[in-house]
Amino acid sequence: MQMSFRWYGSSDPVTLANIRQIPGVVGIVTSLYHIPAGEAWPEDEIRALFQTIEAAGLQLSVIESVPVHEDIKLGRATRDEYIANYQTTLRRLAAAGVRTVCYNFMPLFDWLRTSLAYELPDGSTTLAYFDEEVDEQALLAGRLRLPAWNLETDSHLLQEMLVTYREMGTEALWDNLAYFLQAVIPVADEVGINMAIHPDDPPWPVIGIPRIIVNRAAFQRLIGLCDKPANGVCFCSGSLGASADNDLPLILRELGEAKRVHFVHLRNVRKVGPRSFYESGHLSADGSIDMLGLVRVLAEINYAGPVRPDHGRMIWGETGNPGYGLYDRALGLAYLNGLWEAARAFV
């Protein structure tokens, strides 16, 4: 597998020089974060991104992500314009050498937490989600923001979209995803890009908004919507693992044997209630997920694609983007490298 690390660009406190010093890292996972959802990415900016990463002695392994405009998710009349821009972006990324694009179809918000600095007994802080603490007004007013979000909309429009999503329901959202995939996946297939959909995080409805990429059945349905090799998934152990209903090794093996795992996020979570969890250290013993079991499956299916440690705790006094500090993610990556080396030895 290709061990990679997420980088948020020139404004990221974690530099490419820092990342290069982590043993085993070869790839960078990044995006052009300043470009609003729905716009086609400029060719010169794509080339510049490649050049910056290659000059640091690394390679661009995954674009995470090319955001899907809300009008596409809502099925509005303007969606064809935004889909055309998405197709243009994929063609330009492929021409520059990109082979994997991660995206999601989460309505209104990207991954969601109720605390960005939940304190653990050892004094470190982490991301946490407690269902009873979800603050709808804080979300709609923009008082709670997370690094992954690419949503610059005023609270009035957010409220309108919230009402629309609640009214449209799950099946209409599936229909809109199908429309998007049937337009975009053939282009990705043509230009040699693997599309990896990220599961919804958390994998259940939030404040009445439907979420659909949540379990094994959802992945099976997704593949059936456009059955081409480019239509695959980003297997995220933390997102799927927040639900006790998900059998992670089964899902990973099934998708991997079907050659539909195009990207992997490996992180651990500790479940503390039916819909509550916090993000632990990567070690199996720290959370509720058998990390060795997942890496063993990756070895058994001979997975050769990009993998990255996902969100980490903030440790040793580090400050920065919540979940995206250097130290704990680097520790997690070293741990995953060790698991991979051991698992490969016994395949």
Across the chain, which has 347 residues, the per-10-residue mean pLDDT values are 95 96 97 94 97 97 95 95 98 97 91 91 95 79 58 68 88 97 98 98 91 97 97 98 96 98 98 95 96 97 96 94 95 97 91
pTM: 0.94
Q: 324, 327, 328, 335: which is the annotated catalytic residue?
A: 324
Q: Which of 71, 200, 201, 310 is catalytic?
A: 310
pLDDT for residue 75: 95
Residue 137: the pLDDT is: 75
Bond preceding residue 65 cis, omega within 30 of 0? yes
pLDDT in the model for residue 68:
96
pLDDT of residue 346: 87
Nearest to 199 by CA among 294, 65, 102, 104: 104
Q: Which letter, b or e, does each residue of 280-289 get, where b requires 16 or more Cβ atoms within 10 Å of its Cβ?
A: bbbebebbeb
Catalytic-labelled residue, pool 69, 262, 282, 311: 311
- The single residue of 69, 262, 265, 282 carrying the catalytic annotation is 265
Cβ atoms of 345 and 29 within 8 Å: the answer is no
**Is 324 marked active-site?**
yes
Select which of 12, 103, 236, 282 is catalytic: 236
Tally of CA atoms within 13 A in the half-sphere of 126 that contains its CB: 26
pLDDT of residue 142: 59
Catalytic residue among 69, 129, 198, 201: 198
Q: Is 236 a catalytic residue?
A: yes
